Amino acid sequence: MITPIKTKPVFKQYIWGGSALKDKYNKDIQDNFAAESWEISCHDDGLSLVAEGEHKGRTLKEVIFENKEQMLGDCECERFPLLVKLLDANDKLSVQVHPDDAFAFEHENGSLGKTEMWYVVDAKPGAKLVYGLKDGVTREQFAEAIENSTLEELLNFVPVEKGDTFFIPSKTIHAICEGLLIAEIQQSSNTTYRVYDYNRKDANGNTRELHTEKAIAVASMENVEGKEKAVPKTTMVNDTKVSVLVSCEFFEVVKYDVSGDIMIVDDSFQLFVCTEGCGKLVYDGGETEFNAGDSVFMPAALRNYTICGNAEVLISRVPKK
């Protein structure tokens, strides 16, 4: 019987992390401290596991590609295309940029590029992030500011509130600042070019590696001021608010504010993460309970299921071609 697959995440310990993933979602984290939780991942840098059922303890990647047709449907992909994370920015992240597919394929051993989106699960008062550069900055000025450690003067800082959505195409300079808890949906890539890290040092007194030459090569100089936040397209289905947060060539992300129940009919695979509340997934042959912070891989062969409860959930899929 085809059933939803709850996942066990992989935690990443970076210097900017904190305790929010433990505090809000009761994640089983060593020392209660983590920066990232790779919730649904088939990337070799962090393979999420099956949390329960007959495949408990195996990697999600193994289970999917052993039964690719039922799991992925008509998605003709040699590698799993998406990755879902939760990020706890207790401190600011480095200023960074990601390449597109063409650049990554040529310069990063055939890797995918990285287009991503952020949904702000929580934000402390005064929270902000970096989205692109100020209007009029040239590539020469960008390179000079990196060399002179004056890049902060050129960055476009944006105030952030809970519930905001940001779409970050590859080549966009960006950085999450402190006080934010974010759900990130992205291409399945771990290629990041770190541009500036506030001259921070790790526990051993070393600064983190920068990738300035590649960053200068790929970074977009496009004017983004006033266009930073994505504008969701929202409708009501019975008592559930359905908001299309982002739709691009790589993924579509829809937020469901469930109050009662809503049926999802889709013959593609989906990545489900609950950011608030709780409920259950009801499908032919059974049901699966979920709580805030849980993530679930929904196989394509499931075809339809009903979300029941009071919850905020994000569902991601690959657009049909």
In the chain, what are the domain boundaries?
5-218, 233-317
pLDDT reading at 308 higher than 90 = yes
Burial class for 300, CB neighbours closer than 10 Å (0-12, 13-18, 19+) = buried
5-218 and 233-317 have identical folds: yes
Question: 5-218 falls under which CATH superfamily?
Answer: Jelly Rolls (2.60.120.10)
Q: Which residue has the tokens 């059974």?
A: 286
Which residues, in sequence order, are CB contacts of 305 under 8 Å at separation 6+? 4, 263, 264, 281, 282, 283, 298
Contact between 256 and 310 (Cβ < 8 Å): no
- State the Cα angle at 308 between 307 and 314, rounded to 5°: 45
Cβ of 91: how many Cβ atoms within 10 Å?
A: 17
Q: What's the CA gap between 122 and 120, in Å, rounded?
A: 6
Mind listing the pLDDT tens digit for each residue in 214-249? Answer: 999 999 999 999 999 999 999 999 999 999 999 999
Q: How confident is the model at residue 51 (pLDDT cuts 50, 70, 90)?
A: very high
pLDDT the model gives residue 111: 96
Q: pLDDT tens, 253-289? A: 999 999 999 999 999 999 999 999 999 999 998 999 9
Q: Exactly one of 58, 79, 139, 194 is catalytic; which is it?
A: 194
176 has pLDDT over 80: yes
Global model pTM greater than 0.95 = yes
Give domain 233-317's CATH superfamily: Jelly Rolls (2.60.120.10)
List the structure tokens of 56. Answer: 């408990």
Q: What pLDDT shows up at residue 203? A: 74
What pLDDT, on a 0 to 100 scale, did the predictor assign at position 204? Answer: 83
pLDDT for residue 94 is more than 90 = yes
Q: pLDDT tier at 124 (50, 70, 90 boundaries)?
A: very high
Is 139 assigned a catalytic role? no
Rounded Cα gap, residues 15 and 200, in angstroms = 9
